[in-house]
Copies of this chain bind each other. A is one copy, B any other.
Amino acid sequence: MSESQPAVPGTVRPGGRTAKVRAAVLEATEDALAATGFHALNMDQVAAAAGVGKTTVYRRWGTPVGLVTDLLRDMADRSLPSADTGTLEGDLRANAALVLKTLTDPRMAAVFRAVIAAAACDEDCADALRGFYRARLTEWAPVVARATERGELDADTDAVEVLRAVSAPLYYRFMISREPLGPDVADRAVNAALAAARAGVFAAGRAGN
């Protein structure tokens, strides 16, 4: 997929070439982050692994952090449908299991550490990281909305805040305190989120007291 190679009529649809280059470059970026982290991310190596010309990669993504920023935008666009087990507890356990699976998978753990580290160095990348988590949290919000409809929680419960409460203890150990993660941690995160939600702690617009 060298940039100097002319498109063969009939094999590449309008817009298809750009999309294919992007897909190849972002896959190579994710591979590189998984293998060596953000610290060692190298534009030339990404271009070579993607089979794309260096000048294309430099012109379009600019810097290593530019690659990570675009990867995050792409990750935000990938849909991860939320669970619908019939109970809030079941749905939150499914959510915690998904977060745990991601953060304990060797490849995905390395990718997530790398993108979070990259976002610490650059505001555009931080915006993309924010957008990624906003997409994920919003996608799962119906889980809490259904629980309020079933009367499991007060109608004014802030759905996203419940979901943040499930994720936060897992990410805290993963990225901050660097402590082990296992099913016990996921279970406890759900139990704590449920106890707080049922106590009305996550009422919308009621931050304090």
Question: How many copies altogether?
Answer: 2
How far in angstroms is the closest Cβ of chain B from A35? 13
**Alpha-carbon distance between A199 and B194 when the two chains are bound, in angstroms:** 10
A17: chain B residues at CB < 8 Å are none
Contacts of A165 in B (CB 8 A): 169, 192
Question: What residues of chain B lie closer than 8 Å to A130, measured between beta carbons?
Answer: 177-179
Identify whether the interface residues of A are mostly helix, strand, loop, or mixed. helix
Nearest-neighbour CB distance to chain B for A152, whole angstroms, equals 16
The answer, among B39, B169, B185, B208, for a CB contact under 8 Å with A121, is B39
Contact B176 A175 (CB under 8 A): yes
For A121, what are the chain B residues with a Cβ–Cβ distance below 8 Å? 37-39, 117
Sampled A-B contacts (11; CB under 8 Å): A117-B121, A130-B178, A137-B177, A164-B172, A171-B176, A172-B172, A175-B175, A188-B201, A191-B209, A192-B192, A192-B201
